[in-house]
Structure 1
Amino acid sequence: MEVEAEKGSEHNNNENSNSGSQPLVESADSYGYSQDQRERHAHELKAGLHPLKYKFVFWYTRRTPGVRTQTSYEDNIKKIVEFSTVEGFWVCYCHLARPSALPSPTDLHLFKDGIRPLWEDSANCNGGKWIIRFKKVVSGRFWEDLVLALVGDQLDYSDDICGAVLSIRFNEDILSVWNRNASDNQAVMALRDSIKRHLKLPHNYIMEYKPHDASLRDNSSYRNTWLRG
């Protein structure tokens, strides 16, 4: 089964089709699944569904510009929906508002189940993120490409990937892919190359990598970036 964007999505250009993509699902025997994963997959297969390798959760964060809030960032993160099958993904994705329809500033998060979209989460605290900035007119298309690649387990070092974020801002949108281990340079650079390949990024796009501990020190999502690629 191939990953394909459905009718009505922002991903309609032939040059961005997924006809050459990897299969969205594979046999559970292909992976080192835990007992819980094997039981979940067996149940989903029995129900005639197509299980994904990972269970995912969509989250969002919405902040009102110019308004100070007493709640923490963690309290502002809201879970939208979770899914673990191809069918479940398309049901929820087709009903999500497209990035172009969302106000600024808003963050959309897609993370593996059990990992919160927070720097402090145990799966994220030693990791970092690759960052790409987009003009607002094209960000939705690249976000959809990334979501399909992440859900379909198409990116290299997928076990090291925690999730992805689309940060919708006033003048630009920022896409980031989070990984577990910022000190594993081979995995970090392989992830960069895999993102470039699957998003078909033009050569003039700059990717920046920032460890989460740097973000914690300066309390900013995108300042003091360390690596460029």
Structure 2
Amino acid sequence: MPEPIIQVKTFEGYPIPDDTTPTTRKTLHQNILGKLRPLPLLYHWTVWFDRYTNPADTTDPEKQYTSRQTILYEDVADIATFYRVYNNYPWNKIRLRDTVHIFRKGTKPVWEDPENRLGGCWTFRVPKPLSQQFFHELAILTIANELQAAVEGEHDHILGVSTSARFNSYLISVWNKHGSNAASIKILEETIIKRLSPELRPIQNSNSYFYKKHADREGYDEAIRAFTGSSDRASFVS
């Protein structure tokens, strides 16, 4: 599939979608947004497209990243720009294992980025019928600073949100900076569950979502070594 171009102009752990949910709330929300001046965001954000490549196809990790990752929109600075980008993205054309990331501007959506090296993410396995609404709400909670405000007291940082296509579901993740801060991780989980619409909330402590540090992922040390020349994790502290 050619790289997407943005033109700016029942599943375990989840409830069954309610086809009778009223649409008036969505319509009202859109009408209000249309009348408001663009609302500036506290942080600027970059939208990335991450094309899946088989690691066996290249022995050069740097080429693997540069060939697969494309910036779709570099500077999302207000809510109006976010919706222009979001509403024009061909979500139905995401291929299996391709990923879209929305990350703080200046932070790349890879483990090796200095902001990410000691972090981790909450990952939700969301059935396809619910996935688009789930990602939309989680993206808004992320860029509108709702999640950041929740973990501020723990001196943590919310760095981005991702959605990745799978066979009958999407893996939707929220990345944070400090993967060893148990209090922040718990607060983040509780805030996400509380702020999602009721029909999207997974059952807490179910196997439909989990937290994992990047350092516990397969291939982490090799990726870090390729970009820093060292696998000494003590040197990653920024």
| TM-score (normalizing by structure 2) | 0.66
How far off its partner does 1:94 sit?
1.5
| 1:89 aligns with one of 65, 82, 85 | 82
| 1:140 aligns with one of 132, 139, 158 | 132
Cα deviations by residue, 1:188-207 (Å, 9 ceiling, x for unpaired): 11001111112241325632
Q: Is the 8 A contact 1:65 1:105 kept in 2?
A: no
How far off its partner does 1:77 sit?
1.0
CA distance in structure 2 between the partners assigned to 1:13 and 1:137 by the alignment: 14
| 2:145 aligns with one of 146, 150, 153 | 153
How is 1:41-190 mapped onto 2 (pairs within 5 angstroms)? Answer: 49-63=38-52, 68-69=57-58, 71-81=63-73, 82-98=75-91, 100-155=92-147, 156-157=150-151, 160-190=157-187
Q: Is the 8 A contact 1:58 1:109 kept in 2?
A: yes
**Percent identical residues:** 26
| Higher RCO structure (Cα 8 Å, ≥6 apart) | 2
Q: Which has the higher helix share?
A: 2
Distance change in 2, residues 1:50/1:62 (3 Å): same
Aligned residues: 180
Q: The residue matched to 1:140 in structure 2 has which SS? A: helix
Structure 2: gaps (5+ residues)? 1-19, 30-36, 224-238
CA distance in structure 2 between the partners assigned to 1:125 and 1:64 by the alignment: 22
Q: The residue matched to 1:157 in structure 2 has which SS? A: helix
How is 1:187-226 mapped onto 2 (pairs within 5 angstroms)? Answer: 187-199=184-196, 200=198, 201-203=201-203, 206-215=208-217, 216-217=220-221
**Deviation beyond 3 Å, 4+ runs, structure 1:** 12-19, 64-67
Structure 1: gaps (5+ residues)? 1-11, 22-47, 220-229
Distance change in 2, residues 1:202/1:15 (3 Å): farther
| TM-score (normalizing by structure 1) | 0.69
Distance change in 2, residues 1:105/1:202 (3 Å): closer
Cα deviations by residue, 1:40-98 (Å, 9 ceiling, x for unpaired): xxxxxxxx642111100110112367983563134411110021012221221211122
Cα deviations by residue, 1:140-190 (Å, 9 ceiling, x for unpaired): 110111111112212222661010111112232101110000111111110
Q: The residue matched to 2:192 in structure 1 has which SS? A: helix
Q: Is the 8 A contact 1:132 1:205 kept in 2?
A: no
Q: Is the 8 A contact 1:74 1:118 kept in 2?
A: no
